Amino acid sequence: MQNMTSASLQRQQQHQSQDTSHAKTILNDNSLTIAEKLISIKNVETKSVSMPGDIVIVSVDLAMAQDSTGPLAIRSFTEMGINKLYDPSKVLLVIDHTFPAADEKVANLHAMMRDFVSKHNCLLVEGSISHQYILEYLAVPGMMILGADSHTCQAGCLSAFATGIGSTETAAVWATGQLWLKVPDTIKINLSGIFGKGVFARDLILDYIGKVGEDGANYKALEWKFSNENIRKEFTMDSRACISNASMECGAKISVFPNDEVTTKYLEENARTNNDLKSIKIQAGASAKYEDEFEIECNKIEPKVSGPDNIDNVHSVEELSNMEIDQAFIGSSTNGRIEDLEIAARILKGRKVHKNTRCIVTPASVKVYEDAIKRGYVETYLQSGAVFTNATCGACVGTHLGALGENEICLSSSSRNFVGRMGALSSKVYLASPATVTASAIEGKIADPRKYF
Amino acid sequence: MTNINIIKGKAWVFGDNINTDIIIPFRFKSRTNDPYELAKYAMYGYDPDFHKKISKNDIIIAGRNFGGGSSREQAPVALKYAGISAIIAESFARIFYRNAFTIGLPAFEIPEIKGKVDQKEELKIDVTTYTVENTRTKETFLARKVPEFMQKMLLEGGLVEYYNKYKKFPWIQR
H-run or E-run covering A382: helix A377-384
Nearest Cβ partner for B65 among A147, A215, A398: A215
> Which distant-in-sequence residues (6+ apart) come within 8 Å of A412 by Cβ?
A327, A328, A329, A330, A332, A395, A396, A422, A429, A430, A431, A432, A437
Which residue of chain A is at minimal alpha-carbon distance from B170?
Answer: A180
CATH number at residue B23: 3.20.19.10
Is B69 in Cβ contact with A418 (below 8 Å)?
Answer: yes
What pLDDT score does A18 carry? 61
Predicted-complex ipTM score = 0.97
pLDDT digits (tens, 9 = 90+) for A380-390: 999 999 999 99
Determine whether the interchain pair A397/B26 forms a contact, defined as Cβ–Cβ distance below 8 Å.
Answer: yes
pLDDT bucket at A2, cuts 50 / 70 / 90 = very low
Q: How is residue A253 annotated by DSSP?
A: S
Share of chain A above pLDDT 70, in %: 94
Per CATH, the number for A19-297 is: 3.30.499.10
Query: Is B71 part of the contact surface with chain A (CB cutoff 8 Å)?
Result: yes
In a domain, B33, yes or no: yes
- Cα–Cα dist A325/A336, whole Å: 20
pLDDT at A8 over 50: no
Averaged pLDDT score across all residues of chain B: 96
R_g over Cα of chain B? 15
Distance, in angstroms, between B135 CA and closest chain A CA?
31
The overall average pLDDT reported for chain A is 94
Q: Does residue A3 have a pLDDT over 80? A: no
Contact: B93, A169; criterion CB under 8 Å: no
pLDDT digits (tens, 9 = 90+) for A396-407: 999 999 999 999
pLDDT score at A114: 98
Per-residue pLDDT of A140-188, as tens digits, reads 999 999 999 999 999 999 999 999 999 999 999 999 999 999 999 999 9
Q: How many domains are contained in chain B?
A: 1
**Domain A304-452, CATH number (from 3.40.50.300, 3.30.420.40, 3.30.450.30, 3.30.499.10):** 3.30.499.10
Tally of CB atoms within 10 A around A289: 15
A428 forms beta bridges with A409
| Residue at B46 is within a domain | yes
Query: Do A19-297 and A304-452 come out as alike in CATH topology?
Result: yes
Res. A270: pLDDT tops 70: yes
| Average pLDDT over every residue of B150-169 | 97
User: Domain extents for chain A?
Assistant: 19-297, 304-452
Helix/strand/coil for A271: coil
Does the residue B151 lie in any domain?
no
Q: CA B65 to CA A365: how far, in whole Å?
A: 32
* pLDDT tens, residue by residue, A228-262: 888 898 899 999 999 999 999 999 999 999 999 99
The reply to whether B171 falls in a domain is no
B168 lies in some domain: no
Domain containing B15 equals: 6-145
pLDDT digits (tens, 9 = 90+) for B52-89: 999 999 999 999 999 999 999 999 999 999 999 999 99
Determine, yes or no, domain membership for B101.
Answer: yes
How far is the alpha carbon of B137 from chain A, nearest alpha carbon, in Å?
31
Residue B98: which of A109, A166, A397 has the nearest Cβ?
A166
Q: Decide if B166 touches A, using CB distance below 8 A.
A: no
Please state the length of chain A.
453
B79 near A CB under 8 A = no
Please give the pLDDT value at position A20: 78
Kindly state whether residue B50 falls inside one of the protein's structural domains: yes
> Residue B124: inside a domain, yes or no?
yes
A257: closest CA among A288, A225, A227? A225
Cα A353 to Cα A15, A357, B105, B137, distances in angstroms:
58, 7, 48, 60
User: How crowded is the C-beta side of A405, counted as CA atoms within 13 Å?
Assistant: 2
Q: Mean pLDDT, to the nearest integer, of A108-112?
A: 98
Three-point CA angle A220, A224, A235, nearest 5°: 140
